[in-house]
Structure 1
Amino acid sequence: MASTVDSGTTNLVSYSPVDSRAVAAFAVDDEETVREKVARAREAGSWWRSLGHDGRRAHLLEWRRVMARRLEEVLDLLQRENGKVRADAVVEMTAALAHVDWSARNARSVLARRRVPSGLLMLNHLATLEYRPYGVIGVIGPWNYPVHTPVGSIAYALAAGNTVVFKPSEYTPAIGRWLVDTFEEAVPGRSVLQLSTGHGATGAALCTSGVDKIAFTGSPSTGARVLAACAPSLTPVLLELGGKDAMVVAADADVPAAVEAALWGGCSNAGQSCAGIERVYVADPVYDEFLDLLARRAEEVRARADFGPITMPAQLDVIRRHIQDALARGGRAVVGGPESVQPPYVAGPVILADVPEDSAAVREETFGPVLVVNRVADAAEGVDRANDSDYGLGAAVFARRGAGELAGRMRAGMVSINDVLSFPAVPALPFGGRGRSGFGRIHGADGLREFTVPTARTRKLFDVPLAVSTYARGPRDMARLERLIGWLHSR
């Protein structure tokens, strides 16, 4: 059990997925409460915007310092409420703090007004472009990375000049509270970042509360409901959804390095990573070597020590079903099997081989420490199979020669070469996918711009002899224009 609403009360109670002990209780925000918080955020927006990039940078860097000073608190919460082993919690916080730092330091250079070329026909105009904040951003966060993922929206939205109402997952509200509390310590007495707790109805209320944009991270099915809820008001939406990420291992790859990457990419955070590796396509000349070494290494990785429990109990049924379906269709279990599902854990990595491409373990998001390893003739075939998916989030390629070309053919928003999951840790790179993996980007310059409205401006500096955008123009003016465009564009 991870969360519930007490019968007859309005309390949301979160429980540890490790031992089912209660962690914290919170109010369930109804529609009126959510709207009140959005209204307070809108009032705080004028002050927050008035600080300018330098003022916001100072506050965001102070927020980063507060979080770093209180690091032990959140590491404990990530273990108790989210079930992470400490190493996974430390990795998550390392990346989250880097993103707060990058967004604060780079917002001015990315978003400040800048001059753009006017072109020959408009040379008498000064053209400028700037990026203005939307206003109030509603952020609906996930439970699998309850700090790093929402921070990828919250910090960038704040740095861009917006205020935020944040609804964390009902499985991790205490971690969400910690995020808002630390910001309150850095920016006291303001409603720049507010917490809204509850289940799906609270998230739905946020979608229709009058926010200027919604940033949602979660499953494709819930993302579709968010999109539908925002459609009547034409509220723009950023969707970071699921993945079925693949790794391609070429014949000339460093096989031991590829094995280590596949194992960590598939099993870190108990496989509960939207951009985690779930499919591995290995070129025939190194397939047996790869699978044998992977099996030996997988036997050394265990739940509780190396990764935590499955946070959402219903996901255990999905993991078991995918394993059973793969075996029923002719696949084989190299390590583990259905018996590995031991609630609330998957006892260790499950390695499946020779799994048909139409099986659930290949087509659907498993979200557990399960790796499908299939043989392909060469890396080119591996890329083709990797691309044969409704998802398009991340991918990985292991090769010594031609790795860049292979990566360029991957149908994904992000690709790691000779590594896995390296892109989320680079703050300057955008994070996001295509297809069922959603649209829009967090992180980097694109992530900052995602929370702004591009605003164009022209200023006439002087008159020119050629007058065409006025009814005072004459036949001679239009004849000159015709000759000019012919000369410009026929060369």
Structure 2
Amino acid sequence: MTTTMPAPATFEVTSPATGQVVGVHPLGSTRDVEDTVARARGAADWWASLGFAERARRLDAWRGIIARRATELADLVHREMGKPPADAMLEIAMALEHLAWAAKNSGKVLGRRSVRSSALTVNQSASVEYLPLGVVGVIGPWNYPVFTPLGSLSFALAAGNTVIYKPSEYTPGVGVWLIEAFTKAVPEHPVLQVVTGDGSTGAALCRSKVNKIGFTGSTATGKKVMAACAESLTPVLMECGGKDALIVNADADVDSAADAAVWGGLSNAGQTCLGVERVYVHDKVFDEFVDQVVTLASRIRAGSDTDAHIGPMTMPSQVDVIRRHIDDALDKGGRAVLGGPDAVEGRFVQPTVLVDVPEDSIAVTEETFGPTFVVSRVRNMDEAVERANASRYGLGVSVFSRKHGEDIARRIRTGAVSVNSYVLYAAVPGLPLGGVDDSGFGRVHGADGLREFTFPRAMTRQRFPSVLPLTTFRRTRLVDSLVRVLITVLHGRN
């Protein structure tokens, strides 16, 4: 009698623009995740033993493959999540910059360095180095399926970890593509692997006892990830939502500020955690700013054709969120100077700019994640700062002011600030990126991003016997007296 094994569970990925199936992928089970983690543990010692220079060489080879096949990857991003191929290419370009930085700088940031001893430990040679954690799990988002996960994947790999990537169920093909490209550069061992699936697959990865989870997604999902990881004390890196503000002072270049607001609020159809959702404009330039914003935003069109500037809502449920935010803003006295309820056309949302919206509207307090933003009039920059800081999110902020931009920016509680530009801190590979409060904790990019996937190990080595043997029961009363004298000399005058 022949026993028929059940077919593995799969799920379909459909284009948000056309509804057509663009891929079928395995629905990873707990057993699948456990087997993947076991393979990663088996490869961990080999990858760590290669050292910084050899790992960098292989990461550079991966970067070269991605660059040469970037058009293919951009088209896949377009088919799975809907953004125009040109925007996908921009995302790929930024990701490659960060991958290059991680490979080049990992040894400098994480390698062993000497640390100066103190007066009481002058006989000790001291050093610190940053060692890989082991196996890292990364749970990635769908809105920037190349740039965002590579902020964790490339830095964790450069630090010497093996990695398991669970991409969003909306863009699993992009994740599979990236891992297949890596395997061509590093064919010897399963250093970087992918498991596709839904939330249950991500939960299994959280409970798999990997050495750390790097998560990017909504704050609500982030809390679930933390709860699952807490069961095994697995540390987490949280890149969560935002409600970023853009502030325009009276002395700002209004044209530049309006252009930044339109790009920051509408690019990627507003599906950006660092997107501009609130704009606070000084009363003296408010009318001029709104006129310029409407002029620029009215030229932007959502669609699936090659001439469209922005694509569809990738998640079907997001359409209802956007509609609810627009309706609430208007019900509470706000006005739509562009777009409005009629801007929602199936999975496509045309640009919408709202004014006169009270601060307690959900369009101001909750993450919208669509091509809409609120522009509010303020009397001065004190009021702008107060309103910007009233949000429970603290991801990024943009400030436009010719003379006072940095002073204003320093008063706002966010993980990143950009003065007289929008979001360029995310494009500088050496800068850390991350938020505070409900926007999460931990950092990707830069030296902080490399250290995020390591643990520091301190080391001392005795160079010669101490003239003041302190940590021994053979310590004499003379030594105790000298210690009291040293305390007074070294610290008592302060």
More displaced stretch, 297-306 vs 237-246: 297-306
- CA drift of 1:490 comes to 2.4
The residue aligned with 2:337 is 334
Maintained 8 Å contact 2:8/2:26 = no
- CA drift of 1:469 comes to 1.6
The residue aligned with 2:155 is 156
The reply on whether 1:219 has 2:221 as its aligned counterpart is: no
The residue aligned with 1:443 is 445
- Show the 5 A alignment for 1:82-101: 82-101=81-100
Distance in 2 (alpha carbons) for counterparts of 1:248 and 1:478? 60
Distance in 2 (alpha carbons) for counterparts of 1:173 and 1:15? 11
The residue aligned with 1:400 is 402
Maintained 8 Å contact 1:266/1:278 = yes
Distance in 1 (alpha carbons) for counterparts of 2:32 and 2:450? 28
- Show the 5 A alignment for 1:296-375: 296-304=295-303, 305-347=308-350, 349-375=351-377
The reply on whether 1:463 has 2:465 as its aligned counterpart is: yes
Distance in 1 (alpha carbons) for counterparts of 2:14 and 2:125? 59
The code of the aligned residue for 1:359 comes to S
The residue aligned with 1:433 is 435
More displaced stretch, 253-262 vs 71-80: 71-80
Query: TM-score, normalization: structure 1?
Result: 0.97
Maintained 8 Å contact 1:117/1:127 = yes
The residue aligned with 2:167 is 168
Classify the secondary structure of the residue corresponding to 2:193: strand
- CA drift of 1:429 comes to 0.5
The residue aligned with 1:487 is 489
Distance in 2 (alpha carbons) for counterparts of 1:490 and 1:328? 66
Maintained 8 Å contact 1:17/1:310 = yes
RMSD: 0.9
- CA drift of 1:467 comes to 2.1
The reply on whether 1:205 has 2:207 as its aligned counterpart is: no
The residue aligned with 1:276 is 275
The code of the aligned residue for 2:433 comes to F
- CA drift of 1:482 comes to 1.1
Distance in 1 (alpha carbons) for counterparts of 2:323 and 2:359? 18
The residue aligned with 1:3 is none
The code of the aligned residue for 1:369 comes to P
The residue aligned with 1:4 is none
The code of the aligned residue for 2:319 comes to L
- CA drift of 1:188 comes to 1.2
Equivalenced residues, count: 483
Maintained 8 Å contact 2:243/2:395 = yes
Distance in 2 (alpha carbons) for counterparts of 1:133 and 1:56? 13
Distance in 2 (alpha carbons) for counterparts of 1:334 and 1:486? 70
- CA drift of 1:9 comes to 6.6
The reply on whether 1:14 has 2:13 as its aligned counterpart is: yes
The code of the aligned residue for 1:45 comes to A
Distance in 2 (alpha carbons) for counterparts of 1:345 and 1:256? 27
Classify the secondary structure of the residue corresponding to 1:358: coil
The Cα offsets for residues 218-270 of structure 1, whole Å up to 9 and x where unpaired, read as 01111001000010210000010000000111010000000000000011100
Maintained 8 Å contact 1:35/1:210 = no
Distance in 2 (alpha carbons) for counterparts of 1:127 and 1:9? 54
Give the unaligned 5+ runs of structure 1: 1-7
Distance in 2 (alpha carbons) for counterparts of 1:464 and 1:452? 33
The residue aligned with 1:472 is 474
The residue aligned with 2:57 is 58
Distance in 1 (alpha carbons) for counterparts of 2:492 and 2:358? 55
- CA drift of 1:384 comes to 1.2
The residue aligned with 1:410 is 412
Classify the secondary structure of the residue corresponding to 1:75: helix
Classify the secondary structure of the residue corresponding to 2:130: strand
- CA drift of 1:13 comes to 1.0
Q: Which structure 1 residue ranges, 4+ long, deviate > 6 Å from structure 2?
A: none
The residue aligned with 2:379 is 377
The code of the aligned residue for 1:29 comes to G
Maintained 8 Å contact 1:134/1:213 = yes
Classify the secondary structure of the residue corresponding to 1:81: helix
The code of the aligned residue for 1:18 comes to A
The reply on whether 1:244 has 2:247 as its aligned counterpart is: no
- CA drift of 1:464 comes to 2.5
The residue aligned with 1:105 is 104
Identity over aligned residues, as a percent?
Answer: 54
- CA drift of 1:487 comes to 1.3
The Cα offsets for residues 9-31 of structure 1, whole Å up to 9 and x where unpaired, read as 71111111110111111111110
Maintained 8 Å contact 1:329/1:356 = yes
- CA drift of 1:78 comes to 1.0
Distance in 2 (alpha carbons) for counterparts of 1:381 and 1:401? 18
The Cα offsets for residues 69-97 of structure 1, whole Å up to 9 and x where unpaired, read as 11111011011111011221111001111
The code of the aligned residue for 2:183 comes to E
Describe the shift of the 1:127–1:9 C-alpha distance in structure 2 as closer, same or farther (beyond 3 A): closer
Maintained 8 Å contact 2:71/2:89 = no
Distance in 2 (alpha carbons) for counterparts of 1:192 and 1:32? 19
Match of 2:425 among 407, 423, 426: 423
More displaced stretch, 389-398 vs 475-484: 475-484
Classify the secondary structure of the residue corresponding to 2:179: helix
The residue aligned with 1:5 is none
- CA drift of 1:358 comes to 0.6
The code of the aligned residue for 1:52 comes to G
Give the unaligned 5+ runs of structure 2: 1-6
The reply on whether 1:47 has 2:49 as its aligned counterpart is: no
Distance in 2 (alpha carbons) for counterparts of 1:30 and 1:297? 48
Distance in 1 (alpha carbons) for counterparts of 2:29 and 2:206? 12
Distance in 1 (alpha carbons) for counterparts of 2:28 and 2:246? 42
The residue aligned with 1:254 is 253
Distance in 2 (alpha carbons) for counterparts of 1:427 and 1:60? 16
Distance in 2 (alpha carbons) for counterparts of 1:341 and 1:481? 75
Distance in 2 (alpha carbons) for counterparts of 1:471 and 1:209? 46
The code of the aligned residue for 2:375 comes to V
- CA drift of 1:410 comes to 1.1
Maintained 8 Å contact 1:355/1:374 = yes
Maintained 8 Å contact 1:303/1:346 = yes
The residue aligned with 2:69 is 70
The reply on whether 1:126 has 2:128 as its aligned counterpart is: no
